[in-house]
């Protein structure tokens, strides 16, 4: 990304990062969201689980609820779009 304050480049960069997280966490939406919020290292530190950080757990619940997923059950596997 050349211009991080350019809205289009910023959105593109965020989408690319989410795509990488989808691959890293095998489509596990809960882990993708946790990695996006707390960092993928935090997810790995806690054995490939959502870290016990209050902010991260609330973020995962809020976003999965917003998009119709059930945060109390294992997330469905989703795949990154092919280019």
How do residues 51-71 score in pLDDT, each as one tens digit? 999 999 999 999 988 887 654
Cβ–Cβ under 8 Å, residues 80 and 66: no
Q: How far is CA 14 from CA 8, 36, 54, 66, 80, in A?
A: 10, 9, 23, 19, 13
| C-alpha 15, offset from chain centre | 10
DSSP string of 58-70?
A: HHHHHHHHHTT--
Name the residue among 23, 18, 24 with its Cα closest to residue 37. 18
pLDDT digits (tens, 9 = 90+) for 23-61: 999 989 999 999 999 999 999 999 999 999 999 999 999
């Amino acid at each position: 990304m050349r211009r991080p304050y350019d809205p289009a480049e910023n959105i593109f960069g965020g989408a690319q990062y989410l795509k990488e997280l989808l691959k890293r966490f095998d489509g596990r939406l809960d882990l993708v969201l946790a990695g996006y919020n707390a960092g993928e290292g935090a997810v790995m530190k806690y054995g490939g689980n959502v870290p016990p950080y209050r902010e991260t757990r609330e973020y995962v619940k809020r976003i999965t609820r917003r998009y119709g997923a059930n945060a109390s059950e294992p997330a469905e596997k989703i795949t990154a779009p092919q280019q």
